[in-house]
Amino acid sequence: MTTPTSPKIRSQEEISARVKALEALLIEKGIMTTEAVDRLAEIYENEVGPQLGAAVVAKAWTDPEFKARLLANATEACAELGIGGLQGEDMIVVENTADVHNVIVCTLCSCYPWPVLGLPPNWYKEPAYRSRMVREPRTVLREAFGLELPDSTEIRVWDSSSEMRYWVLPARPAGTENLDEKALAALVTRESMIGTGVVKAP
């Protein structure tokens, strides 16, 4: 049985080559300009993406009242920080705890909370991930992502759709009690907000 394609399975070089080829074709055909491509990259690197979700996570770790609002209505809580928009209209946050680990998937297509996580990674959209994560999440997390969870940890898989897009509030790692929000946000990865990874202590 094959495992879902992950950064460990499909090389970054292969993905970069495919992106460059597509970019060159779009420019050659006059569909896009180099400036437009650069601007799109800038938007998703600096204005939309995982760094926004990481900021939300860091605030939830340091502000119990905000965390309660986030878990009650993620869309409204994110809007307090000026985060929202297309693909983020109906977001639901699920919290990792000492006993529960959450992971998200979209079995039908690739629904995903873009405003807080940016563009979905290639492996998130592939049929192998979408089908296997629901059936054998512990095995997929271990084999494809190197995430080994104790047998005592319950794994909950959340299936996103166009009506609701889930993402994960990861557990705050030990040893970060004295870090401010900016330093905490720097620890948070996209994978930890999907559930295919955890936040590691500095």
Residues catalogued as catalytic: 106, 109-111
What is the SS3 string spanning the chain?
CCCCCCCCCCCHHHHHHHHHHHHHHHHHCCCCCHHHHHHHHHHHHHHCCHHHHHHHHHHHHHCHHHHHHHHHCHHHHHHHCCCCCCCCCCEEEEECCCCEEEEEECCCCCCCCHHHHCCCCHHHHCHHHHHHHHHCHHHHHHHHHCCCCCCCCEEEEEECCCCCEEEEECCCCCCCCCCCHHHHHCCCCHHHHHCCCCCCCC
Which of these, 202, 194, 156, lies nearest to 176 by C-alpha position? Answer: 202
Q: 80: which 2 tokens?
A: 């307090």
